Structure 1
Amino acid sequence: MNQPRIVTADEWTRARDELLVQEKKVTRVLDELAAKRRRMPWLAVEKDYAFDGPDGRVSLLDLFAGRRQLIVYRAFFEPGVHGWPDRACTGCSLVADQQAHPAHLNARDVTLVFASRGSQPNINRLKARMGWEIPWFTIVGEEGAEFDVDFGVDEWHGTNVFIREGDRIFRTYFLDNRGDEKLGGTWSYLDITPLGRQEEWEDSPQGYPQEPPYQWWRWHDDYDSLPT
């Protein structure tokens, strides 16, 4: 391996400071991209889509669980996938392994779910084996086939983002391929939502909910203490 040179502490600090300049530029660019996502046009969802969940048949609207924003990751766990029925797709499993605690997303009015073709008994068995607690739904019927095609996930994994106004649902963002690789942390998910982190420093359209950073942060079992 052609490893970097060995340096003194002062040389290492100078090299790190030079790299930090570039890293801060990238951070600012990422903030600008997140601001543009919050200004993406909304596409109305006109069809009904069906899913099976722990409590039976549900709709896309039900997946919001009463919150305003929804992130749906299309994971491949179904006949034909390597490892079926004991395991899900290797890449999708890696995504599942790195999920942040959902309480932090829920506190920002965001619900994150996974969806696959596997049955609920198979999904529950997989989750128990792998130690996953992600809400995971089964895409069912002809409506399910349409969901996959309509939202770009019929042949590959992908992440769709939605917002609702009452009972009306709108698609706001989509990414797949290597775009899914950066997801898993609280901030990475919030940065693809239409309302963002909802903090005052963000460049968001006028009237979007915002408050100071740190103010809403809690231990994941302490969000009941948020002021209402």
Structure 2
Amino acid sequence: MTTNEQIAQMKKPAVVSAEEWQNAWQEMLVKEKEFTRSRDALAAARRRMPWFAVEKEYVFEGPQGKVSLLDLFDGQRQLVLYRAFYDSNVYGWPEHACVGCSMGADQVSNLLHLHARDTSLVYASRGSQENIATLKQRMGWDAIPWFTITDDFDKDFGVDEWHGHNVFFRDEHDKIFRTYWVNSRGDEAMGNVWSYLDVTPLGRQELWEDSPEGYPQTEPYKWWRWHDAYGKEDAKWSNVVDNATVLLNL
């Protein structure tokens, strides 16, 4: 925590009138909108990256036993797999996983919103399932599917020495492709629905997005639900969105 002495020594910005502050905010808003459009363009570029076919078979250990990479999709079309460091040579073992990985796990949002966009999120570590189950319960991470790496998956996908998110796609023949990956400071932004969807090949799947021809897209906002209401039609919510469209600035 900062001390009063540290705060007193800070070179603080100018204090201005309400009108001057509003003008400064409007100038900043222009820059922020430019950043948002740039971020959208970057996500559009990701959706056009080439894919790498995953031919090798990988085996993970889960709560119910051995599973394949395909199993980790859990029926979804897309998979975001985060390599979290939790094993005997990691600081904090066995009570804690890696400090940074743990901060990331604390940020993970309700996975049902990702499932609604055909996307699965899982964590994978070298730790045993027994230890992982204890860790998840103690840290409040029960909702995150967390598997044990048993082979060279981490080495093959660049996450044997450092954390990272690998993104995979399952086609109509259940063939798996690696489509993207992000690590280091890129991982700092992960944790919410939008950050995950923006690194997937299908994106947010909304009509305003710049996606290749034929990609699935629906009207923005209308697919949103309370997390316990997915799979149910909600005409009233659609009507709210229709009436508020003029106010929703994409």
Classify the TM-score, shorter chain: over 0.9
- Counterpart in the other structure of 1:13: 22
Q: Give percent identity, aligned residues only.
A: 64
How far apart, in 2, do the equivalents of 1:226 and 1:41 lie?
Answer: 36
Structure 1's 226 and 107: CA in aligned 2 closer, same or farther, altered over 3 A?
farther
1:147 aligns with 2:153: yes
Deviation at 1:224, TM superposition (A): 2.3
How far apart, in 2, do the equivalents of 1:157 and 1:226 lie?
Answer: 39
Deviation at 1:226, TM superposition (A): 4.8
Q: Deviations over 1:111-159 (max 9, x none)?
A: 000000000110010001100120000001xxx2x21111000100000
Q: 2:48 aligns with which of 12, 25, 39?
A: 39
Does structure 2 conserve the Cα–Cα contact (< 8 Å) formed by 1:40 and 1:172?
Answer: yes
Does structure 2 conserve the Cα–Cα contact (< 8 Å) formed by 1:216 and 1:226?
Answer: no
Deviation at 1:10, TM superposition (A): 0.6
How far apart, in 1, do the equivalents of 2:18 and 2:43 lie?
Answer: 36
Does structure 2 conserve the Cα–Cα contact (< 8 Å) formed by 1:200 and 1:212?
Answer: yes
> C-alpha root-mean-square deviation of aligned residues, in Å?
0.9
Q: 1:126 aligns with which of 110, 121, 135?
A: 135
1:61 aligns with 2:104: no
Q: Deviations over 1:38-90 (max 9, x none)?
A: 01111000101110111110000000001110000000000110010110000
- Counterpart in the other structure of 2:247: none
The structure with higher relative contact order (CA 8 Å, sep 6+) is 1
Q: 1:102 aligns with which of 97, 111, 130?
A: 111
Moved over 4 A (4+): none
Give the TM-score, by structure 1 length.
0.96
Q: How many residues align?
A: 223
Q: Secondary structure at the match of 2:231?
A: helix
How far apart, in 2, do the equivalents of 1:40 and 1:103 lie?
Answer: 27
How far apart, in 1, do the equivalents of 2:67 and 2:233 lie?
Answer: 29
- Counterpart in the other structure of 1:48: 57
One-letter code aligned to 1:157? H
- Counterpart in the other structure of 1:169: 176
1:197-216 equivalence runs, <5 A: 197-216=204-223
One-letter code aligned to 1:17? Q
Gaps of 5+ in 1: none
